[in-house]
Amino acid sequence: MESTFAQDLQVPGSKPINDFYVFTEGGAAYMPNVGFKDATFISGSILGNNFSLGWSDFNLSTNLGYNVTAGFGYSFNKNISLELEAGFIQNTIPSYSANLDATWNGTSGSLNGVTVPVSGAYFQQIPICVNFVVCNPDLQVRPMVGIGLGFAPTKMELGTYTADFTAIGGDTVSLDLGSYTANPFLIKLKAGLGYSVNPNMDIGIRFFANILTGSDFGSGLKTDVYGVVGANANLTVRF
């Protein structure tokens, strides 16, 4: 009975499975809030009085975004493959929040829970990594798992904040909060399931989690460890 079940799972047809393959994926990407390390962005002295201004508990909130990925791989045997992939991920940023901290001659105070709504803000990443993958291409239904290492050039556009003073007889003032870049280290975890359309092509679904660390955007903007998770449709072709 076990032998019959195993035969049913094999890819029909006599064409051999090729070692080289290409793949593409696309779908949704979710980035939980991105936290930044506490920092002082200005300090100095006025008429002999020392002061500083900074932030703590600085967090960016993001909306559900999208991602696309393409790559190629080589199967060393029936179960083990090595892949090189590159992708693109974008998540928009509706707002961020922080505590504003100030000191004056050693006396400190904070304005807690300040939320700043912004427009035109986003996170863009180009993850590039090498994956070690375990999968059996001889099966009709192909479960797979993998782990990858690489880096992810990142652009953080903090967008525009608009302050409205018309209620007190003033104007609206727009403040461009700048664009910043970083190159964090990337660890990628992936898993999924594919279905063989023919011996050298399958379609399926992939789930991934990108873990990023070491993002220094400059101007005191250094992140804690953060991540991106997502689900993609997948197409793999062997040649």
Q: What is the CATH number of the domain that holds 217?
A: 2.40.160.20
The pLDDT value recorded for residue 16 is 53
Decide if 234 is inside a domain: yes
Do the beta carbons of residue 91 and residue 122 sit within 8 Å?
A: yes
Nearest to 85 by CA among 29, 34, 131, 143: 131
The pLDDT value recorded for residue 18 is 75
CA distances from 86 to 11, 28, 156, 158 (A): 29, 16, 19, 25
The pLDDT value recorded for residue 39 is 81
Decide if 75 is inside a domain: yes
The pLDDT value recorded for residue 14 is 39
Range of the domain at 71: 2-37+59-94+118-149+177-205+212-238
What is the distance between the alpha carbons of residues 145 and 239, in angstroms, rounded to a whole number?
Answer: 22
- Within its chain, how far is the Cα of 201 from the centroid? 28
Decide if 25 is inside a domain: yes
Decide if 165 is inside a domain: no
Residue 168: φ, ψ to 5°: -115, 20
Write out pLDDT tens, residues 13-24.
434 567 899 999
Tally the domains of the chain.
1
The pLDDT value recorded for residue 5 is 41
- Within its chain, how far is the Cα of 173 from the centroid? 32
pTM for this predicted structure: 0.84
Decide if 192 is inside a domain: yes
Decide if 83 is inside a domain: yes
Decide if 78 is inside a domain: yes
The pLDDT value recorded for residue 17 is 61
Intervals of the chain under pLDDT 50: 1-15
Tell me the two tokens of residue 47: 């008429």
